[in-house]
Structure 1
């Protein structure tokens, strides 16, 4: 078997997109969602990981851009494999713990990012109706991971055992 020169091998490797989100919740178990201006479904704060950027740095950057919140990032809760979907290539979504927020803190958020229309705290049931099904499952997996003290490995938000 002939091996490719290292440079050709490296150039042939598949590239994956990556996103990083942060799960904030309040003492009543509601989760913080952002209403975006560019699509009909809501999201958790976060976004695309830039080239050369670590997912945890992307999570901190996105929260600062979207919510103007500057808080320490908690532990990793979810790694989710996302299949290709229309124009979006296969990817990985990371969800980190943002910790607890109060309703007063959320009410004080004045998003200046043009991508964000509004923010709000929603029960998991209400969130399930506002976000895409895969994100609803990812949020549920993240909430379960908080209780279990483990990282949830998922495929389209569904927990898997490797």
Structure 2
């Protein structure tokens, strides 16, 4: 019988035995591992023991993406809303429509504010107007201010007030009032458009009896920002705490 006497032979035998022991352990572990209990009300399966499956079949998922299905939003097990699904074009057509308007607060050191008198009626307005397609509200304020007064806006946009309300025609409207140029009422050159025939600079308190109440509240809020306050978010020209 041949003897295994060299150190290399002994190392080979030891490695082979170690591999056999590991295989036996793995085999024994697989054999004695108990099966998962059946899922019942008294004995639910452990969390993570089953692969999570999409509860909706593939056909239902396609229908859900096309539109007829209804998606339910849930938070902590509570149903919040039901969102109908529509084709993209129909979804866009159903989106809420709002009007966007912007104006500038042309002012001077004494906190007097410039308003323009309309040529088509007896009304005083801030320089501004509605936004055009593809135009953000800052560009609207820059364009309208130059068209109606010939004045250039500052390079950095600042917001003295933002107001959310409803247009007289019943359409929701967002109004952004940007800080306009600081001018000297005695030397400023104003070039009016055909929409206006005069301009004046008064304080917010002086303008209050000459303008509608909503406009007077916006001017008062904007004056507070000129004095160092923060830009308020208004609803119907009133602070949220004061508006029901």
- Could you state the TM-score of these two structures normalised by the residue count of structure 1? 0.88
Q: Which residue in 2 is equivalent to 1:78? A: 161
Secondary structure of the corresponding residue to residue 135 of structure 2: coil
Contact residue 151 and residue 181 of structure 2 kept, 8 A: no
Can you list the C-alpha shifts for 1:37-67, whole angstroms capped at 9, x where unaligned? 1232201111111122110001000011000
Unaligned runs of 5+ in 1: none
Shift in Å at residue 149 of structure 1?
4.5
Q: Kindly tell me: are residues 147 and 28 of structure 1, through their superposed partners in 2, closer, same or farther at Cα, counting changes over 3 Å?
A: closer
1:143 aligns with 2:226: no
Question: What is the aligned partner in structure 1 of residue 116 from structure 2?
Answer: 34
Q: Give the 4+ runs in structure 1 shifted more than 3 A.
A: 146-149
- Tell whether the 8 Å contact from 1:41 to 1:132 is kept in structure 2 after alignment: no
Stretch moving more, 50-59 or 70-79 = 70-79
* 1:155 corresponds to: 235
**SS of equivalent to 1:143:** helix
Q: Residues 138 and 156 of structure 1 are in contact (CA less than 8 Å); yes or no, is this contact kept in structure 2?
A: no
- In the alignment, what sits opposite 1:23? 105
Given that 2:165 and 2:174 are in contact with CA atoms closer than 8 Å, whether structure 1 keeps it comes out as yes
Once the two structures are TM-superposed, the CA of residue 148 in structure 1 deviates from its matched residue by 4.4
Instruction: Tell me which moved more, 145-154 or 38-47.
Output: 145-154
When residues 49 and 105 of structure 1 are mapped into structure 2, their CA distance, relative to the original with a 3 A threshold, is: farther
Which structure's CA Rg is the greater one?
A: 2
Which whole-Å deviations, capped at 9, do the CAs of 1:14-33 have from their partners, x for residues lacking one?
11111101112111121111
Pairs within 5 Å for 1:7-156: 7-72=89-154, 74-85=157-168, 87=169, 89-106=171-188, 108-111=189-192, 113-156=193-236
Unaligned 5+ segments in structure 2 are 1-69, 71-83
Cα RMSD (Å): 1.8
